[in-house]
Amino acid sequence: MVFAIGFNLSTAVDSIQAATFKIKQQEIENDYKQFLLERDINYKISLRNNMTQLVITGELDIGITTAVKNILKQRPNVSTVALNSIGGHVYEGRGLSKLFTRQSLDTYVYHECSSACTTAFSGGVKRYIGTDGKLGFHQYKHDLSINKKAVNFHNAGAEQERDLEVFKSRGIKDHFLKKIFKESSNGMWFPSHKELIEAKVIDGVIETN
């Protein structure tokens, strides 16, 4: 009898906890959906070169990987991506990188591609930089701004390790990988074009006006 009562109480507590978890999970999902509707979009996606080159300008905000994926479904003739971004969310940089590799796209930088943008850039099958282009690397940091706090990460070091694996999978040399996250999150390392070529980060430099 006592066992039966104890068992029923335990079952009831488990049920209440499960129900509470589902409610909280639903609240989180609803908050995130509302966040997606209200957030500012700080990037622009366009097409040029007879609709064969996708151009991404601005921050790599939450949702940009999905947006690019949807465009590529509608524009299967896209073969290259030009990036002009000072960075954004590390998850989106990684997501874009994997998407570019999966779609066999080449990547280009004519101006600047820094922080999370360099991870996205690394996904190109072939990677090129313009004569005035530069790639910037530094350590990751927690960012609680409105466009990032919904999926903020808690271990910058762990995220850096994940992206190091992404860079390594793209054939980038080990000596270069050891320098990628040396610069503090408040600074930026812009390696020379020669360094980028020697480390297999880029396949070449394109003359631009």
- In tens, the pLDDT along 54-111 reads 999 999 998 999 999 999 999 999 999 999 999 999 999 999 999 999 999 999 999 9
Q: DSSP 3-state assignment of 99?
A: helix
**Structure token digits, residue 57:** 């300008």
Q: What is the pLDDT of residues 46-69, one digit of tens each?
A: 999 999 999 999 999 989 999 999
What range does the domain containing 186 cover?
Answer: 43-206
47 and 34, same structural domain? no
31 and 90, same structural domain? no
CA pair distance 172, 166, nearest whole angstrom: 9
Give the amino acid at 98: K
**Structure token digits, residue 199:** 């480390």
146 and 47, same structural domain? yes
Q: What is the gyration radius of the CA atoms in the chain, in angstroms?
A: 22
97 and 28, same structural domain? no
Q: Is the pTM of this model over 0.85?
A: no
Whether the CB-CB separation of 109 and 79 falls below 8 Å is answered with no
Give the amino acid at 73: K
